[in-house]
Structure 1
Amino acid sequence: MNHPLTTSVRQIVKETFEGPPSGGSMFTESRPNSGLFGTLDQLTANEASIAVNATTVAAHADHTRFYLWGTNAILKDGKQPKMDWGESWKINSVNEKQWNRIKEELRSEYVTLLEALDVTEWNKLLAIEISGSLAHSAYHLGAMRQMLKAIKDS
């Protein structure tokens, strides 16, 4: 049987990325496509490249992927990998191929994170990294949802 913490964290992580389950929402909008993947899928590469307050959705998405990659590396190896945070914000514009790659790599890191939740024993490192990734991803989801409104309204 799954630990209650594992079950609840998994549910919140899934809502962040996949959107709310059919029965309602814990913190995202209750409608479909309000998670990270649904939000990103609403944008073309050109729209994801529109700067809103000096950054793009493409940059936010890739930065979120980068953070998840770091979390997954820590969970796998038990130590922080070398990470150049500045590099994770350098994307200004993307073509359709680049945009699809960012979304695919974000989804891959998400799946890896979900697999890490299947560990049998929670420890301090796992709890900190998973909680940090969840908070970080939820923050960027909110930022991208606001950017989506500005992009679609223009």
Structure 2
Amino acid sequence: MTSNRGPAKGTGEESMTAEERLARLERQTRRWNLILTVAVIGLCGYIGFREFTVTGIIRARELKIIGDHGRTIVHMTRDQEGDGQIDTFSAKEEKMVSISTSPTGGMFNLYNQMGNAIVSVQSNKLSSGSVSVRNVDGHTQEAMTGSPSQPRTQLSGSLPFYR
């Protein structure tokens, strides 16, 4: 048994014509369409805003900054022991600068276009540190080193101000 009740009492629909009811439904539909459109635009704006805002922290195990031609410019990672390392590269993807850390010190190397380390600075618990300058072929020209057992600086090289 189906019940055909007609318009609900107290809504004012009992005295409305079909055209009036249709016009009322069209207004309600337009209102809901407007509400839905505004909600979708707001949601898209919120998602877009979240996606393109700068966050304060980047969390990654490794970070590579790639240039226009797909070549690595900067590579941030950790070495085999788990200590931090930053390397920068030339347009030909040759290492130009390397910076690394360890629990007892750190290292800085500057390389030439041939890939040879030309300046090296390091310090750690075992050697107390060293500074060396090399020629284009990577052969040491000047060096300054120290050790825990001999804190006095040992110099080698040919520059006149070391003499």
TM superposition score normalised by structure 1: 0.21
Which one has the largest radius of gyration?
Answer: 2
Greater RCO, 1 or 2 (C-alpha within 8 Å, sep 6+): 1
**Higher-strand-fraction structure:** 2
**Higher-helix-fraction structure:** 1
TM superposition score normalised by structure 2: 0.21
